[in-house]
Every structure is written in structure tokens, then in C-alpha cells.
Amino acid sequence: MTTKRNDNVHVAIIMDGNGRWAEARGMVRSEGHKSGAKRVKQVILHADTCGVRKLSLWGFSTDNWNRPEYEVNILMQLFKKFILQEADELHQRDACVTFIGDRSGLPEQLQRVMAALEDRTKDNNGLHLEIALNYGGRDEIVRAVNKAVEAGKQVTQESFLQLLDTPDEPDLIIRTSGEQRTSGFMPFQATSSEWYFEPVTWPEYTPSHFDTALAAYKARDRRFGGLSKKVV
């Protein structure tokens, strides 16, 4: 499938609010995670249809290990199930899938299916789908610093970017569920990213919400420290 990429836009989403969505409806939190997983595929396919160049999804934070063990186990099972179920379609749509975060802390079976999907899609040229699992911004920076120390090299801003899990700065970062904080998402990369805080929880998130956020981003005047293009 050949799709015109949408102005080279890189969109990242902090998918927040699964548990609260379920609790508000008298359900156990795991039902929220299951509903949220269905939204993941829907948004990925829509982003691809829109021609977004890269879509980064934060699925599991290093802080999420503080949740009850049964909830963490359900999440790990959902990640594995999603990868196995969607691998064929993602490959057929020419998506290139990569994972960021400290995967060494994840279950071995999950690590294997992640690596298999990365290898299978590495030469694809469509949507770049980046999924953050066991990811934390400070953790990413510490691991990058340790790489530099082990190599015995001084770094520049540009060379340090190459030591991070991902060097790409998102153009637009969306956070769902009404929370207005960054939670340490890509702190080194996202210095000029535009943020969009969406009040609905992730299980309620639709392609229409995505389109609204993308339109809002395109309407913004991005100056990158310079003067507004609107200044005459």
C-alpha cells in the first residue's frame, strides 16, 4: 500500500485513562486495558490512512511496575496478544515497527515476539510505528549516559541523541484522559514538540479526536526560537 506521508509529521500519544474509564463504569481495571487495546489498532490504521510519517505510542511506563502484579501481568499478555494478532496486517500495510524502552525487564516471550516483528518489518517503507514498553524518560537518559561512559567518549547534543532509544523529536504529542503533565516522555527529544491534551480517556478515543488534534497542530505557529511567520 502506498500512502502519501502527511507533511512528514511525527505524532506521539500517551495513551492514558484505561483504568479510570473502567472504574467509572463499575468494571475491573483490566476491562479498561482490553478496551484500550482495541483503540490502539483503530488509531494506528487511521494514522496510516492519514499519511502520518511516524506514530509513537507509550504503552507501559517504568513507573507502571508499581501497579498490582495481576494488572501488570494482564498488560503483558495484552501486549503479546496484540503483536501476534496484528503482525500480518502491519506487515501487509508496509509498516515498520520498532520498540523503545528497556526491554530487558520485560517477559522473555514478549521480548521474542517484539524482536520478531521488528525483524520482519525492518525493510518496510510505510508508517513507522514506534511502541514504548518499559519506557521512562529518565531511564532512557541514564542508559544513554552509561553507553557514552562505557565508550569513553564525550558527546554533543546530536551524538547524544543517537545514544537514546530513539533520536526523533515528535512534532505533536497527544495525552488522553485530561491529565496535563508530560510524565517524563522523551524529555531530551521533545524540546520543541507541540502538546495537545485530550479530555477523553483512551478507550473513548476515536479517529475524529485524532483528526482534531492534528488540525490544531497544523494551525499552530511553530517558531523554534525565531520570529513568528505571521510577523510582517
Which one, of 125, 43, 136, lies nearest residue 82 by Cα? 43
CA atoms of 46 and 40, how far apart (whole Å): 10
Compute the average pLDDT of residues 97-103: 98
Range of the domain at 137: 10-218
Contact (CB, 8 A) for 131 and 47:
no
- Is 102 contained in some domain? yes
* Model confidence band, residue 116 (pLDDT cutoffs 50, 70, 90): very high
How far apart, in Å, are the Cα atoms of 175 and each of 9, 106, 150?
17, 24, 35
pLDDT per position as a tens digit, 131-177: 999 999 999 999 999 999 999 989 999 999 999 999 999 999 999 99
Which one, of 91, 133, 143, lies nearest residue 116 by Cα? 91
Q: Strand, coil or helix: what is 89? A: helix
Q: What integer pLDDT is reported at residue 225 of this predicted model?
A: 55
Which one, of 76, 6, 107, lies nearest residue 48 by Cα? 6
- Is 229 contained in some domain? no
Judged against a pLDDT cut of 90, whether residue 184 lies above it is answered with yes
Contact (CB, 8 A) for 202 and 177:
yes
CATH classification at residue 92: 3.40.1180.10
Residues with a catalytic annotation lie at 16, 64
- Is 1 contained in some domain? no
Contact (CB, 8 A) for 69 and 40:
no
Q: What mean pLDDT value characterizes the chain?
A: 93
- Is 223 contained in some domain? no
pLDDT per position as a tens digit, 12-69: 999 999 999 999 999 999 999 999 999 999 999 999 999 999 999 999 999 999 999 9
Q: How many CB atoms lie within 10 A of CB 217?
A: 20
Query: What domain count does the chain have?
Result: 1
- Is 203 contained in some domain? yes
- Is 5 contained in some domain? no
CA atoms of 81 and 91, how far apart (whole Å): 16
CA atoms of 172 and 16, how far apart (whole Å): 16
- Is 200 contained in some domain? yes
- Is 76 contained in some domain? yes
